[in-house]
Structure 1
Amino acid sequence: MFSNRLVHPWRHERNLRKQNKTVSVTLNSMTPITKVDPRFLSFSIDISVLAGGYWWEGSKGTQRGLGTERVEPLDLNQPKLDLLIRALGPAYVRVGGSEADKIHYFTSLNPPSTTPSDVLTLTQGMWNNLHNFCQRLDLSLMFTMKYGLFERGQHGIWQAHEVEALLKYCDAHGQRIDIIELGNELNAYWAFHGFTSQPSAKNLAKDYDTFIRCIRQHSPTSRIAGPGSAFWPRIGEAIKPLSNISSIFLANLEEKIDIVDWHYYPFQSSRSPVRTRAATIENILSPNSFKDFEKYSMQLEKWRNDYQPNAQLWTGETGSAQCGGQAKLSDRFVSCFWWADQLGRGAKIGQKVMVRQSLIGGDYALIHRQSLKPNPDYWVSWLWGKLMGECVFSVQSNDPFVQVYCHSAKKEGKCTLLIINMSPKPKIMHCHGFGSKKKRFEITADSLTSKKIRINGIKPKFKKGDVRLKDFPKLSKLNLVSPYSINFWCFTV
């Protein structure tokens, strides 16, 4: 019996009265409404994890946007880690995060800007290992270059020397950076580095123009992303006029960028000093919690259309809850619901790539950093990669607690319907406009806070280094979805 004991009973009963026993899903047309990047589902490795900085495991709070505990640098040469990443398929891997703006590059001629005990250094060995890691696992590297200007008098006159030196090293060693951005969440410098560190939109545009010219000269095949602004649930870019800089930045940018990207977390963990929407089971299972993502995405799309019409829109960083994720929620079954929805919703509204924070490290990781065991969200990602193709179709559901999304399948002539049932009751599905149903895959668990999930009733396991769709029992073709379940239904078209 599925346990929903952690949902407040009175709110649970109120929500039940709003829900339907049957759900009608209509495929409006087989003409795609948009198309996503082949590496749509991507992920990040935070620079703090890669290089051994301040991170979230063991931290009870935050210090300037970081965890309070320092960790050992990540070993990228672990066969089990390779196996888990390879199973997710080709992806972009973003290496960024708050410490990207303070890190010392091994190629830099300038002395570190912090005291020796606090210096975080990207060593030559780390950099070479990162490129080897990307090459053997078919990962395209997205890298956050250091902005690192923390006083207003420095803004608008950023110098490219450190970036040039690193790019020249890459050129000499045949290393490619596919996407490059400058600085991490530059509209939130005030929160991470103090109020006087916040650059104005116009000065930031000047510095970004300098950066773009540097990249075009020294790494002409790299694409450029920006501004990577942080948006909070309910309040967007937060403090006006201090941090609402994205539209003015784009308006003042003289050079062209390839990608307009942004960062968004739908919830905040208990570590976060500011919580506009706390990470709770009730919030995670509320359809209203998903609306802000769409709202802010539409804002970015308008600004993109106005100022950088040829750029793609990317969600450059996202996770279940800010500040490392919420313990005992972000790494549990309940987290699968927001993740499945954001993948489907993001693709539907035109986000070409979704970069998950993080691949490894923190409560919000796809893979547990110490044990290398996959968390529940990993299996949503795995099924998405196996079953959801690049073409996105328009579908509608008449029940807000049953979210639906449809993509082409990996094989021609088929499509996959993603059905997310956030209700404690089973639902009878009436699907209109689809062909015949071929296969069903269903993710369930014993409770919302379970660390283990099941696919078609059994726990997924790697056998001889692989896990395959045919490893799971076939489900009947009944038009029924289980309570609290995430479903992938495969149809002919």
Structure 2
Amino acid sequence: MNFKSITFFVVFLSCLLVSKAEKVEVVVEGATSIAQTDEDFICVTLDWWPTNKCDYDQCPWGQAGLFNLDLKNKILEKAVKAFHPLRIRVGGSLQDQVVYNVRNNIENCQPFQKQDKGFLFGFSIGCLDMKRWDELNEFFNQTRAKVTFGLNALIGRKESETEKTLWVGDWYSHNARDLMSYTISKGYTIDSYELGNELCGVGVSARIEAKQYAKDMATLKNLVKEMYPNPKTQPKILGPGGFYDKKWFDTFLDASGHDVIDGVTHHIYNLGPGNNPDVVRRVQDPFFLTQIAQTFKDVSNAIVKFAPWSGAWVSESGGAYNSGGQLVSYTFAFGFWYLDQLGMTSVYNHKVYCRQALTGGNYALLNTTTFVPNPDYYGALLWHRVMGSKVLSVTHKGSPHLRVYSHCAKKEPGVSFVFINLSKNTSFEIDLFHDLNLNGGSPNFEFKGHKKREEYHLTPKDGNILSSIVLLNGTPLELSDSLEIPELKPKLVDGLKPISIAAHSIAFVTIRDFNAPACS
């Protein structure tokens, strides 16, 4: 055997060892949908954190907080506009320390200042003047964003003298009324108001009892009805915006009253602290990723039982708390967790999922300094463009490292899929089966498409999942010379061939001639 032959054999053998292909039969039940999201399911947050918000010897927020954000930046503007529209939730830990200087009666109206004692999260009260509110709304209007604004829920209350972290008393709604009045007078559109941030259950730095919170939600609902009398333009009411606690949530929803809450909001940080070295392993572990499913199911069930007129929202989720996972949250690897979260919450009938954050912290969709998109930005944009609101049941008996989710296509006709391959060494060859049996049983037939499939394969640069550069169908996604968001074009593939999912990759696939009755 000559040298060239030996070299070829060694390379061929190494390829077999690095990535072996596994055939998988994926079954789609297309007769009926199992859940439904909002049309604008994808949502991002903008947070109040100042420059000196620091964790684990780093300060990753820069100028990304709401008081400092450069709203004239062209990349930021184009990144938001690309969604047509993008939901933006304005809020975060410090929102319950924000006062609104509508009447210009607050002396020395200043953003947050670092304080060691006497304030939550180590920062003072922050004052929002109307000049900055005008600037924010100009940005929202220009980018056509759908805005959820998080209101200060602690204003008017005081800390309990007998129970640590418990805040007591009724919510003082006058400052919120002033802000709404000003907002209406300027013609600014608010899609929804959310009351409070992480004050439910045991709280984070403060908490409110469930029945008191329910009473305050009714106050907010009445205020919104008064200020926005036209039901067609009336903002939705959301809450409580914190971590799920069954007893607290059940009491809260039961006491809230009929048609008060439009969206039941909760937060997800299931990967642990941002300095946890295990984050990169967890985002590739299918068993770990699945553990949070019970929370999504429990929230959905609570709504069915106590508030069936409302819907579940994840109004903040950054995966790893304290500004995200260092060296992980802005990389390709984080997409394994993020897109799996989108799929899982959709299955459990969640209407909206808000990623922390658009910019700021390690978990930003856009680089905090340059605003250049990180890999998860493109994952979010593809989901928004490809995945419709109707959710289909999809199963397989292959490796748990292959995660699959299916929806009706965003643009009819057809069905769209997300395939997430958590495995470093195994690729998958997918054969689709269409199950039209309403009463169970074996799938009716193997699906073979006659039209070309639209495929978007996302892979990391150089195969390194800790890269912040993502490739679409083999081509790096980069801004154009004029700073435009790159066009996301699918690869057209023969519909008779199996769907190939490479190791450590994510793929969106739309099949136009997959005729699911649920999607017609």
- What interval of TM-score do these two structures reach, taking the shorter chain for normalisation? 0.7 to 0.9
Q: Which position in structure 2 is the counterpart of 1:13?
A: none
Aligned-pair distance for 1:176?
2.3
Q: Is the 8 A contact 1:419 1:487 kept in 2?
A: yes
Q: Is the 8 A contact 1:358 1:365 kept in 2?
A: yes
> Would you say 1:467 and 2:481 are equivalent positions?
no
User: In the TM superposition, what whole-angstrom CA distance separates every residue of 1:318-353 from its partner, at most 9, and x where no partner exists?
Assistant: 122111101111011110101111111111210111
> Would you say 1:486 and 2:486 are equivalent positions?
no
Going from structure 1 to structure 2, the CA distance change for 1:334 and 1:466 (only over 3 Å counts) comes to closer
Amino acid in structure 2 at the alignment position of 1:488: F
Match of 1:127 among 119, 125, 133: 133
Going from structure 1 to structure 2, the CA distance change for 1:190 and 1:315 (only over 3 Å counts) comes to closer
Aligned-pair distance for 1:227?
1.3
- 1:390 match: secondary structure: strand
Gaps (5+ residues) in structure 2? 1-17, 115-123, 162-166, 435-446, 515-520
User: In the TM superposition, what whole-angstrom CA distance separates every residue of 1:107-160 from its partner, at most 9, and x where no partner exists?
Assistant: 265668999763422121221122111112121110111112351376232221
Going from structure 1 to structure 2, the CA distance change for 1:257 and 1:438 (only over 3 Å counts) comes to same
Q: Which position in structure 2 is the counterpart of 1:91?
A: 86
Q: Is the 8 A contact 1:441 1:475 kept in 2?
A: no
Q: Is the 8 A contact 1:39 1:90 kept in 2?
A: yes
Q: Is the 8 A contact 2:282 2:289 kept in 1?
A: no
Q: Is the 8 A contact 2:64 2:360 kept in 1?
A: no
Whole-angstrom CA distance in 2 between matches of 1:39 and 1:387: 12
Aligned-pair distance for 1:301?
1.7
Whole-angstrom CA distance in 1 between matches of 2:284 and 2:297: 23
- 1:394 match: secondary structure: strand
Q: Which position in structure 2 is the counterpart of 1:356?
A: 355
Superposition map of 1:149-160 within 5 A = 149-152=157-160, 155-160=168-173
Q: Is the 8 A contact 1:167 1:219 kept in 2?
A: no
Q: Which position in structure 1 is the counterpart of 2:297?
A: 298
Q: Is the 8 A contact 1:156 1:207 kept in 2?
A: no
Q: Which position in structure 1 is the counterpart of 2:195?
A: 182
Q: Which position in structure 2 is the counterpart of 1:370?
A: 369
Superposition map of 1:438-453 within 5 A = 438-445=453-460, 446-453=463-470
Instruction: Report the TM-score, using the length of structure 2 for normalisation.
Output: 0.79
Instruction: Report the TM-score, using the length of structure 1 for normalisation.
Output: 0.84
Going from structure 1 to structure 2, the CA distance change for 1:330 and 1:82 (only over 3 Å counts) comes to same
Q: Which position in structure 1 is the counterpart of 2:272?
A: 268
Aligned-pair distance for 1:68?
11
Q: Which position in structure 2 is the counterpart of 1:26?
A: 27
Q: Is the 8 A contact 1:187 1:244 kept in 2?
A: no
Q: Which position in structure 1 is the counterpart of 2:15?
A: none
Whole-angstrom CA distance in 2 between matches of 1:460 and 1:150: 50
Aligned-pair distance for 1:378?
0.9
Aligned-pair distance for 1:406?
1.0
Q: Which has the larger radius of gyration?
A: 2
Percent of counterpart pairs with the same letter?
A: 26
Number of equivalent positions: 449
Amino acid in structure 1 at the alignment position of 2:264: V
State the Cα RMSD in Å. Answer: 2.9
Q: Which position in structure 2 is the counterpart of 1:328?
A: 327
Q: Which position in structure 2 is the counterpart of 1:79?
A: 74
Amino acid in structure 2 at the alignment position of 1:140: K
Aligned-pair distance for 1:91?
2.2
Q: Which position in structure 2 is the counterpart of 1:55?
A: 53
Gaps (5+ residues) in structure 1? 1-15, 232-236, 238-242
Amino acid in structure 1 at the alignment position of 2:219: T
Going from structure 1 to structure 2, the CA distance change for 1:94 and 1:54 (only over 3 Å counts) comes to farther
Match of 1:100 among 95, 100, 116: 95
Match of 2:257 among 251, 254, 278: 254
User: In the TM superposition, what whole-angstrom CA distance separates every residue of 1:57-110 from its partner, at most 9, and x where no partner exists?
Assistant: xx32699xx989996611112111111112233122100101100012122656
